[in-house]
Structure 1
C-alpha cells in the first residue's frame, strides 16, 4: 500500500519523459509531484489507484 512520501510509477510517463512521482498529499484527493521537473498533479483517489503502476521506493519512516 502507498503512503505519504513514497516514490511511485504511473502507467503513462510525464511530458518531461520522467516516470517517478512523489506523493505529497493524501486525503480524498492525492497530490503527486514529478521528481524531474517539479510539476504537481492532483487526482482523486479512484483515478490515482487506476493510473498508478507500482511503488518504486517507500518513504523513510
Structure 2
C-alpha cells in the first residue's frame, strides 16, 4: 500500500470522537495521523 503525506485514510476502527477518517501528516517507520473529526494527532 502506497501512503503519502496528505492522503486521507478510512480506518476500520473509529476514533473515540466517532470519526473514521484520518489525514496522514508524516510517513516512515511509523505514521503520524490527524483525526479529521476532532483534530487529535497520534502516531501509528
Structure number, greater radius of gyration: 1
Normalised by the size of structure 1, how large is the TM-score?
A: 0.65
User: As a proportion of its length, which structure holds more strand?
Assistant: 1
Structure 2 residue runs of 5 or longer lacking an equivalent are none
Structure 1 residue runs of 5 or longer lacking an equivalent are 44-61
Would you say how many aligned residue pairs link Structure 1 and Structure 2? 43
Normalised by the size of structure 2, how large is the TM-score?
A: 0.86
User: As a proportion of its length, which structure holds more helix?
Assistant: 1
Which structure is higher in RCO with an 8 Å CA cutoff and minimum separation 6?
A: 1
